[in-house]
Amino acid sequence: MRATSVRWRWRDVHVGLNLIFLVPGQTGGMEVVARETIPALVDAAAPGTRITAFVSRDAGTGPWGELIERVEVPVRASNRLEWVRGEQQLLPRLAARAGVDIVHSMASTGPVWGRFARVVTVHDLIYRHLPEAHEGWRAHGMRVLVPLAVARSDRVIAVSQATKQDVVNYLGAPPDKVDVVYSGPGAPPTTAPLAEHELRERFDLDERRVLLTLSAKRKHKNLEPLLEAVARLESRPLLVLAGYPTEHEAELRARADTLGIGGDVRWPGWLSSAEVEGLWAITSGFVFPSLYEGFGLPVLEAMTRGVPVACSSTSATGEIAGDAALLFDPSDPGAIAVALERLLAGGAEVERLKRAGTARAAEFTWRRTANGLLDSYGRALASR
C-alpha cells in the first residue's frame, strides 16, 4: 500500500501531540523538532484532520496554541516528577475528554494507558550507551519509562536508522513496529547575523580564524578530545564552544589551561539568534565530536548555511552527514586534529564540503518529516 493511501484513509482523525516535556530554552533539539514539525504537519495533513497539543504550564508560546488547539496539563515540566505525573496520570484523561483518536508522544516517553492509539518518537537511547549522561532520578526514569512507552505504543518512530537499531537491540521492539522518520534540517535562520566587527569585539575574537561547535558542555559531547586536538595544531585557530554551561565546564576549562590553549578557547553560554548566525557566517568550519547522537541537528544546521563540517563517524551523526562531512573517530584526538587541519586549509576540499553539505541538508525537510509521521499514524490506527 502506498503511504499516501494510508494517510487518506484516516483523513478525519483527531491527533493529540504530547508536548508536556516542553520547557522553551531548556529542551534543546526536541523543542526545535516540535516547533518545526507542527506547521509542516498542519500543511501535510488531510482535510478534516484535527490536531491538539497537550502542554504543561511551562510551554510558553509557539505553534502549539497558535496553529493548533492547545490543552494545558496542570503541571510544571521543569519538575521531572510533575512531568511524569502529567504524562502518565493526567494526559490520558484529558486526551479522552478531548476525543482524540491517537496520541503522539514526541520525547521518548509517553502514557502507557488510554483507549486511544499511541505513537512514541524515540530520539536516542543515550541512557543505555552512556549512563553517566543522565544522573539521579532522571536516569532511573528514562530506564523505566522509555521501554514502557515503546512496549505500550502501537508504533514507534525512530529519528535515524541507528536509533531504530538501538530500539530493536536494546528494547526488544519488533523491527516492523519501528518507523524511521528523519527530522528536518534544524531551525532556519530567523534573524540577520550580528555584524562581524561587533561579533568579534563581543567575544574577543580579534582577527583570528574561528572553529565553532554548538553543544551543551556535557561529557558525552566529547569536548575534551576536541581541546586536545586543537592543542596539536601548529596554526591555532580560536575555538568557540557555545552552549549552555554545566558542572563539566570547569573541568574543560582546567584541561584547556593544562594544554596551554586557555587563551585560544571562548566559552559563551546561551546565544541570541543574531549571535549564532554571526558565528555561522565567520567560522572556518563546524566541529561536532559527540560520542553519541540519535540524530544530530547541528550538523544539518551548519550544512544548511554552507558551513563545512567535521564530525563523529559514530552513532547517527555519520549516517546523517553521509559523505558531505569529514568524519573522524571521536575517541582519537589525532584524527580530530587531522580533520581540523583539513578544514583550516581551505581550498578545493572545503569548497566541495560546502556544496555537498548544502545538497545533503536539502534532502531533509520538515514536510518529509510530517509525511512520515502521518504514515505512522495511519499504521497505528490500522493496527487497533
Question: Per-domain residue ranges for the chain?
Answer: 3-184+365-382, 196-362
Q: What is the pLDDT of residue 318?
A: 95
196-362, what's its fold?
Rossmann fold (3.40.50)
Give the cell for residue 46.
488531510
Q: Please tell me the distance from the alpha carbon of residue 83 to that of residue 106, in angstroms, as a whole number.
A: 14
- Cα angle for residues 103, 109, 115 (degrees, 5° grid): 35
pLDDT band at residue 253 using 50, 70 and 90 as cut-offs: very high
pLDDT digits over 221-231, tens only?
999 999 999 99
- In angstroms, how far is the first alpha carbon of the chain from the final one? 18
Q: Do domains 3-184+365-382 and 196-362 have the same CATH topology?
A: yes
Q: What is the pLDDT of residue 236?
A: 93
Strands in 60-214 per DSSP E: 69-72, 102-105, 117-122, 155-158, 178-180, 210-214
Q: Please tell me the distance from the alpha carbon of residue 286 to that of residue 343, in angstroms, as a whole number.
A: 9
Q: What is the pLDDT of residue 187?
A: 85
Q: What is the pLDDT of residue 14?
A: 97
Q: What 3-state DSSP class applies to 84?
A: helix
Is the full-model pTM beyond 0.75?
yes
The class level of CATH for 3-184+365-382 reads alpha beta
Q: What is the pLDDT of residue 10?
A: 59
* Residue 324 burial class via C-beta count within 10 angstroms: exposed 0-12, middle 13-18, buried 19 and up: buried
Residue 234: count of CB within 10 angstroms of its CB: 6
Residue 345: count of CB within 10 angstroms of its CB: 12
Give the cell for residue 124.
536516542
Q: Scan for cell 541512557, then name that residue.
A: 127
- Exposure string of 139-150, with b = 16+ CB inside 10 Å and e = fewer, is eebbeebbbbbb
Cβ-based neighbours of 362, under 8 Å, separated by 6 or more: 185
Task: State percent of the chain over pLDDT 90.
Answer: 84
